[in-house]
């Protein structure tokens, strides 16, 4: 049975039972639909908002990819532009996704919140939504792992006159009230938002966390190109030195802005950005920070140099001619550890929380989760028959949650889905 819905449809479908229901209409869910259609497996994609909503509504105006365009390799829709080593800006990303959406033409039910999924006694699943209830033989959860923004409870005690937003709500410097801006967190979003504000001439205070960094270009090439040649992006999670622990790692900060460059927080500090360690608390009008700024900056630089050293070894082993090796040397060092900041004296008018998201699979009533709410799986296949996950960071490889690796994972899971359905049909026969 096939749904008559095409992409971006929001009317209720006639069918109530499907072989497969896919939860989530981002690049993961649409990629799954692409391969299910190839296998002629009837299915329905359920999307809480609109397809690829996050890319369009939770990115700032100056957002661009941090990986080169050639890594945009959604299934059946590789990058075809004239700048494979450039970095698509927000409007270009949206155009790329629009083309992919049109090509896949997935059976999508938009504006449909999945409120509950539970196994049926006779096999398969019940799926309860804001737009009707369904049943399915198998379910693919493709809603990602970034659901609930993390904001510490101390935020409740901050002065009401300070505007507080989360990274997904930030759009541009002009949209913030006058005054200095405190950015909390230095992962990819925090570092890039701090840069965006800094380049606009805003006074920025940055609480620096433990995020690592990497070079944009090294020895004549993008670091991503070197790592691709070194087959880092093909390494399955089971072969990574950290094993499944790598899923908890913060992404390296770097940028594709203006053709791509390093993000050097030390350089920003030399230009007037105020750096502090991890934000710990707020008391008596003062923010309190851990005395770990110097250590966090050093750890980030150590990772930067360690990645480059790995590239050096590869170049030497392969006998490749390349510009000479180098080691990053700090352009600025903190004079000491400042652990307190008076909000009033600093003139801070807004705070941007950039400390990540928590997964929220509370609607999924299946016993596959660990104590932190993360699903147990092997390459997206859970211990619960007919339940799969797709699009999670390091689900199988580094690219599992990105444009570069989602096709491989979706194709693999579609094969598992098809094999399971074929086995059930054989058993029934």
Is the same domain home to 66 and 101?
yes
Is the same domain home to 329 and 187?
yes
Residues forming beta bridges with residue 274, ordered by sequence position? 205
Residues forming beta bridges with residue 194, ordered by sequence position? none
Q: Two tokens at 3?
A: 């749904």
In this prediction, residue 374 carries a pLDDT of 86
What does each of the 429 residues of the chain score in pLDDT, given as a tens digit? Answer: 333 354 445 566 656 999 999 999 999 999 999 999 999 999 999 999 999 998 898 899 999 999 999 999 999 999 999 999 999 999 999 999 999 999 999 999 999 999 999 999 989 999 999 999 999 999 999 998 777 888 999 999 999 999 999 999 999 999 999 999 999 999 999 999 999 999 999 999 999 999 999 999 999 999 999 999 999 999 988 888 877 776 777 789 999 999 999 999 999 999 999 999 999 999 988 999 999 999 999 999 999 999 999 999 999 999 999 999 999 999 999 999 999 999 999 999 999 999 988 888 999 999 999 877 889 899 999 999 999 999 998 888 888 888 889 999 999 999 999 999 888 665 555
In this prediction, residue 6 carries a pLDDT of 47
> Does residue 6 belong to any structural domain of this protein?
no
Distance CA(360)–CA(15), nearest Å, equals: 28
Phi/psi-derived region of residue 25, left when phi > 0, alpha when psi is between -120 and 50, beta in every other case: alpha
Determine the structural domain holding residue 95 and report its residue range.
17-147+359-428
Is the same domain home to 375 and 326?
no
Distance CA(311)–CA(318), nearest Å, equals: 11
Domain boundary among 353, 369, 394: 353
Total domain count, the chain:
2
Angle between the N-to-C axes of helices 406-428 and 27-38, in degrees from 0 to 180, rounded to the nearest 10: 50
> Does residue 127 belong to any structural domain of this protein?
yes
CATH number (domain holding residue 288): 3.50.50.60
Nearest by Cα to 191 from 373, 17, 63: 63
> Does residue 163 belong to any structural domain of this protein?
yes
**DSSP codes, 321-362:** --SPP-----S---SS---EEEHHHHTEEEEEE-S-EE---T
pLDDT digits (tens, 9 = 90+) for 142-192: 998 777 888 999 999 999 999 999 999 999 999 999 999 999 999 999 999
Is the same domain home to 296 and 184?
yes
pTM for the whole thing?
0.92
Domain boundary among 337, 353, 369: 353
**DSSP codes, 249-318:** PPPPB-B-GGG-B---HHHHHHTT-EEE--EEEEETTEEEE-S-HHHHHHHHHHHHHHHHHHHHHHHHHH
Residues forming beta bridges with residue 185, ordered by sequence position? none
Nearest by Cα to 265 from 192, 327, 326, 200: 192
> Does residue 2 belong to any structural domain of this protein?
no
Nearest by Cα to 410 from 33, 89, 20, 14: 33
Is the same domain home to 196 and 245?
yes
In this prediction, residue 9 carries a pLDDT of 55
> Does residue 88 belong to any structural domain of this protein?
yes
Distance CA(366)–CA(118), nearest Å, equals: 6
DSSP secondary structure code for residue 131 in this structure: T
Is the same domain home to 166 and 119?
no
> Does residue 10 belong to any structural domain of this protein?
no
Is the same domain home to 326 and 337?
yes
Nearest by Cα to 190 from 268, 245, 247, 259: 268
Residue 112 dihedral angles phi and psi, to the nearest 5°: -130, 110
Distance CA(113)–CA(130), nearest Å, equals: 5
Distance CA(408)–CA(391), nearest Å, equals: 11
> Does residue 389 belong to any structural domain of this protein?
yes
Domain boundary among 353, 382, 409: 353
Is the same domain home to 223 and 323?
yes
Distance CA(242)–CA(247), nearest Å, equals: 9
Residues 6+ apart with CB under 8 A from 100: 27, 30, 74, 77
In this prediction, residue 212 carries a pLDDT of 95
Is the same domain home to 205 and 284?
yes
In this prediction, residue 69 carries a pLDDT of 97
Helix (H) or strand (E) holding 427: helix 406-428
Task: Report the SS3 class of residue 215.
Answer: coil
Greatest Cα pair distance in the chain: 77
> Does residue 235 belong to any structural domain of this protein?
yes
Distance CA(311)–CA(322), nearest Å, equals: 11
Is the same domain home to 185 and 328?
yes
Distance CA(58)–CA(193), nearest Å, equals: 13
Distance CA(307)–CA(37), nearest Å, equals: 40
Task: Report the SS3 class of residue 209.
Answer: coil
How far is CA 424 from each of CA 118, 230, 271, rounded to the nearest angstrom? 20, 41, 65
């Amino acid at each position: 049975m096939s749904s008559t819905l095409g992409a971006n449809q929001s009317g209720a479908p006639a069918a109530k039972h499907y072989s497969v229901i896919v939860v989530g209409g981002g690049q993961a869910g649409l990629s799954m639909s692409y391969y299910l259609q190839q296998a002629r497996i009837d299915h329905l994609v359920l999307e809480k908002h609109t397809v690829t909503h996050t890319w369009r509504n939770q990115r700032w105006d100056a957002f661009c990819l941090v990986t080169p365009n050639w890594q945009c390799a959604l299934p059946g829709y590789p990058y075809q532009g004239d700048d494979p080593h450039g970095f698509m800006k927000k409007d270009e990303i949206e155009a790329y996704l629009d083309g992919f959406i049109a090509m896949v033409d997935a059976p999508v039910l938009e504006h449909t919140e999945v409120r509950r999924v539970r196994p049926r006694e006779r096999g398969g699943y019940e799926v309860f939504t804001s737009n009707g209830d369904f049943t399915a033989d198998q379910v693919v959860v493709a809603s990602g792992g970034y659901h609930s923004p993390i904001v510490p409870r101390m935020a409740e005690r901050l002065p009401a006159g300070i505007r507080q937003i989360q990274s997904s709500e930030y759009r541009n410097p002009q949209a913030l009230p006058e005054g200095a801006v405190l950015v909390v967190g230095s992962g990819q979003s925090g570092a890039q938002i701090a840069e965006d504000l800094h380049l606009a001439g805003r006074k920025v205070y940055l609480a620096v966390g433990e995020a690592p960094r990497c070079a944009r270009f090294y020895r004549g090439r993008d670091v991503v190109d070197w790592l691709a040649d070194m087959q880092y992006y093909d390494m399955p999670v089971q072969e990574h030195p950290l094993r499944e622990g790598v899923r908890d790692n913060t992404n390296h900060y770097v940028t594709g802005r203006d053709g791509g460059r390093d993000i050097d927080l030390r350089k920003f500090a030399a230009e007037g950005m105020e750096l502090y360690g991890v934000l710990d608390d707020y008391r008596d009008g003062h923010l309190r920070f851990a005395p770990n700024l110097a250590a966090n900056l050093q750890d980030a630089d150590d990772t930067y140099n360690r990645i480059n050293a790995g590239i050096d070894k590869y170049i030497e082993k392969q006998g490749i001619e390349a510009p000479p090796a180098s080691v990053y040397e700090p352009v600025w060092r903190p004079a000491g550890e400042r652990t307190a900041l008076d909000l009033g004296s600093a003139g801070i008018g807004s705070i941007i929380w950039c400390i990540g998201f928590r997964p929220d699979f509370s609607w999924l009533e299946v016993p596959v989760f660990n104590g932190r709410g993360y699903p147990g799986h092997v390459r997206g296949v859970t211990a619960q028959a007919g339940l799969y996950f797709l699009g999670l960071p390091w689900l199988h490889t580094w690219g599992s949650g990105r444009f570069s690796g989602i096709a491989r994972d979706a194709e693999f899971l579609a094969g598992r889905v098809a094999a399971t359905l074929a086995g059930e049909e054989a058993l029934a026969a």
